């Protein structure tokens, strides 16, 4: 066989692109990619052409214009002379607030219910079972409306339920609690708190190293708790309790002063937390049940006490199963918070995607920004949880 013949035998024939396995997948992927790019190009082109035909101006200049509307719950300074951009940030913070509060409460409730679900107490585990099934299978929007409806049926502001000797007020205008008023010298407390946290981290690392080297065990958890809680409290007392409380008083229409959790916030927060908690409970149950009984027995036979067995053997293994689905529950909660629109909680969907969109008519820009916001929220949560997952996963040796 001459060299030339061999070359012909291996020569490239166009039909091999779809007949031969090694080329086929690449060939079709390139075609799909080309079509996708063509489609995106077509959509963008089409949108621009139609917008021009309609005579609608586009761009993001509207973000610098005054918004002219008020927002009832703003974590940063805001009034109707602020810009649309600032209104969007106010909405963003409100979304963040309800997401963070929701994640914290849902986690606490979810872990509690998940453990109770496995309880040996038959009544307890059945009750939790019914709760989980009922909550998981009712659309969250209905649950939000239910909570909101319930809160609206509370007594009116003038007949508010008062407790803790006239400092807390609960009515259909929300829950009003005393507002903290820091006095000079209070700054020391958060500073000490931060120092305590940093110190606790350093101490934990050091204690672990000592344990690895010598086998000596320090009561790390106890010492850290005392440091993180005790030191700031001590500072607070030493500096002469530089904090006073502003108690709300009934004004002509509303309670004035104090801090008010609005009904819309409470309804959304509670509904999202209880809804997501039901899913988290199942995730936690699955995680605990995934650790085989043999692990416990093995630990006991090594002489570990039950508390230490749970903390060092069962929980780390359960967490590996729990963390990935937990991440997606956190993401769901954050995205579900956009249902706020149904009850008038001013999240970013209501400010940027609602009033701003409507007043400026910049629908495409607003919706694109909204998508970017939810995407970054989700990616950030995901990033953190992936880091945590990496941290807890089994180290194979």
Partner 1 sequence: MKKTIGILAAVTSATALSLGATAGTLDDVRAKGHIQCGVSTGVPGFGFTDDAGNWQGFDPSVCQAVAAAVFGDTSKVKYTPTTGKTRFEALKSGEIDMLARNTTWTFSRDVDLGLTFVGVNYYDGQGFIGRKSLGISSAKELDGASVCIQTGTTTELNLADFFRINGLSYEPVPIETNEEARTNYVADRCDVYTTDASGLAATRSTFDDPDAHVVYPEIISKEPLGPLVRQGDDQWADVVRWTLNVMINAEEYGVSSANVDDLKGGSDNPEINRMLGSEGNLNEMIGLDKDWAYNIIKQVGNYGEVFERFLGANTPIGLERGLNALYTDGGLLYAPPMR
**Least distance (Å) between residue 169 CB and partner 1:** 14
| Cα–Cα distance measured from residue 271 to residue 140, given in angstroms and rounded to the nearest whole number | 7
Burial class (CB in 10 A: 0-12, 13-18, 19+), 281: buried
Give the interface segment with partner 1, choosing from 5-13, 27-35, 187-195, 317-325 (CB under 8 A): 27-35
Q: At what angle do helices 84-117 and 315-336 cross, to 10 degrees?
A: 140
Binding residues among 257-276 for partner 1 as defined by CB under 8 A: 263
Of 250, 266, 122, 240, nearest to 185 by C-alpha is 240
Select 319 or 366, whichever has its Cβ closest to partner 1: 366
Are 33 and 327 contacting, i.e. CB atoms less than 8 angstroms apart? no
Give the interface segment with partner 1, choosing from 87-95, 100-108, 185-193, 346-354 (CB under 8 A): 346-354
Of 394, 261, 257, 276, nearest to 339 by C-alpha is 276
Of 317, 318, 324, nearest to 394 by C-alpha is 317
42: contact with partner 1 by CB under 8 A: yes
Count of residues that bind partner 1 according to CB under 8 A:
50
Q: Which of 118, 223, 321, 341 binds partner 1 (CB under 8 A)?
A: 341
Q: Is 155 strand, coil or helix? A: coil
326: contact with partner 1 by CB under 8 A: no
**Least distance (Å) between residue 357 CB and partner 1:** 7
Torsion of CA 352, 355, 360, 361, to 10 degrees: 90
244 DSSP assignment:
E
Residues sharing a CB contact under 8 Å with residue 32, sequence separation 6 or more, in sequence order: none
379: contact with partner 1 by CB under 8 A: no
59: contact with partner 1 by CB under 8 A: no
Q: Which of 15, 137, 156, 214 binds partner 1 (CB under 8 A)?
A: 156
248: contact with partner 1 by CB under 8 A: no
**Least distance (Å) between residue 378 CB and partner 1:** 24
Give the footprint of partner 1 on this chain (CB under 8 A): 25, 28-29, 31-32, 35-36, 38-39, 42-43, 46, 53-57, 68-72, 79-81, 152-153, 156-157, 172-173, 251-254, 256, 263, 341-342, 344, 346, 350, 354-355, 357-361, 363
């Amino acid at each position: 066989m001459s060299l030339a013949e061999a070359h012909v035998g291996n020569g490239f024939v166009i039909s091999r692109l779809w007949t031969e396995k090694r080329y086929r997948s690449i060939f079709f992927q390139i075609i799909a990619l080309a079509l996708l790019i063509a489609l995106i190009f077509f959509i963008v082109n089409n949108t621009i052409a139609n917008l021009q035909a309609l005579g609608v101006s586009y761009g993001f200049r509207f973000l610098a214009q005054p918004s002219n509307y008020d927002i009832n719950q703003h974590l940063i300074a805001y009034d109707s002379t602020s810009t649309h951009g600032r209104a969007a940030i106010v909405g963003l913070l409100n979304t963040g607030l309800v997401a963070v509060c929701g994640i914290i409460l849902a986690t606490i409730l979810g872990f509690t219910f998940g453990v109770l679900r496995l309880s040996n107490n038959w009544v307890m585990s059945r009750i939790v079972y019914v709760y989980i099934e009922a909550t998981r299978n009712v659309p969250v929007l209905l649950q939000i409306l239910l909570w909101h409806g319930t809160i609206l049926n509370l007594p009116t502001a003038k007949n508010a339920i008062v407790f803790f000797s006239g400092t807390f007020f609960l009515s259909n205008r929300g829950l009003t609690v005393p507002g903290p008023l820091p006095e000079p010298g209070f700054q020391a407390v958060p500073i000490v708190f931060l120092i305590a946290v940093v110190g606790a981290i350093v101490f934990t690392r050091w204690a672990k190293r000592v344990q690895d080297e010598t086998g000596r065990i320090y009561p790390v958890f106890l010492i850290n708790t005392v440091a993180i809680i005790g030191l700031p409290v001590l500072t607070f007392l030493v500096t002469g309790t530089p904090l006073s409380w502003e108690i709300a008083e009934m004004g002509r229409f509303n309670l004035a002063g104090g801090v008010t959790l609005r009904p819309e916030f409470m309804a959304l927060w509670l509904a999202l937390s209880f809804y997501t908690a039901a899913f988290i409970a199942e995730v936690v149950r699955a995680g605990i049940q995934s650790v085989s009984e043999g692990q416990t027995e093995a630990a006991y036979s090594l002489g570990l006490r039950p508390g230490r067995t749970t903390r060092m053997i069962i929980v780390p293994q359960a967490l590996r199963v729990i963390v990935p689905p937990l991440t997606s529950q956190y993401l769901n909660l954050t995205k579900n918070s956009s249902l706020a629109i149904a009850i008038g909680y001013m999240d970013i969907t209501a400010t940027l995607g609602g009033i701003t969109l409507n007043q400026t008519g910049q629908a495409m820009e607003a919706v694109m920004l909204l998508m970017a916001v939810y995407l970054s929220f989700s990616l950030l949560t995901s990033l953190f949880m992936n880091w945590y997952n990496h941290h807890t996963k089994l180290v194979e040796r």
